[in-house]
Amino acid sequence: MLRRTSRAIWMGNLKEGKGTVELGSGAFKGSYSFRSRFENGSGTNPEELIAAAHAGCFAMALSHLLSESGYTPEKVEAQATISMEAVEGGFKIKSSHLECTTRVPGISEEEFLNIAQKAKATCPVSVLLSSIDITLSARLEQN
């Protein structure tokens, strides 16, 4: 079983406090705060990190499924946008929208879109986020 670890340290109360998040691999360490999460302050936030994980997982899953189907993807560019709303008692992540532009020689638009939908449904981060609405806009780039 694979295990991955990251950690967060938060100092102070919610509004005036601040924190850091660090990936276990050491590849990223960043600050976060109330302002970076709920306003437009500098730093990262948990939702941005979830979006990065979703985009990365989807891109790898799509590349894999394309290869399994006999195609050689030249490029898979993915972006995820996490939406969070205020609800009674706090906030709730409501959706993740994936946008993808892919260059794959020799594939039809219809087959590409079918494979992209399968990647959206089966990548491990999508499975983890299955309690929220996940949408996909996928575009096949011409050579």
Q: Average pLDDT of the chain?
A: 96
Beta strands in the chain (DSSP E): 6-11, 18-23, 29-33, 75-87, 90-103, 133-140
To the nearest whole percent, how much of the chain has pLDDT over 90? Answer: 98
| Residue 9 vs residues 19, 26, 95: alpha-carbon distances, Å | 5, 15, 26
Structure tokens at 95: 């959706």
pLDDT score, position 106: 96
Mean pLDDT of 12-18: 96
Q: Residue 78 pairs with which residues in a beta bridge?
A: 100
pLDDT at 143: 64
- Tokens matching residue 30: 């960043």
Structure tokens at 9: 């340290």
Q: Give the Cα separation of 138 and 143 in Å (integer).
A: 16
- For 51-102, write each residue's pLDDT tens digit: 999 999 999 999 999 999 999 999 999 999 999 999 999 999 999 999 999 9
- For residue 142, pLDDT beyond 90: no
Give residue 41's pLDDT. 93
| Sheet with 18-23, edge to edge strand ranges | 6-11, 18-23, 29-33
pLDDT at 36 over 80: yes
Tokens of 36: 């970076």
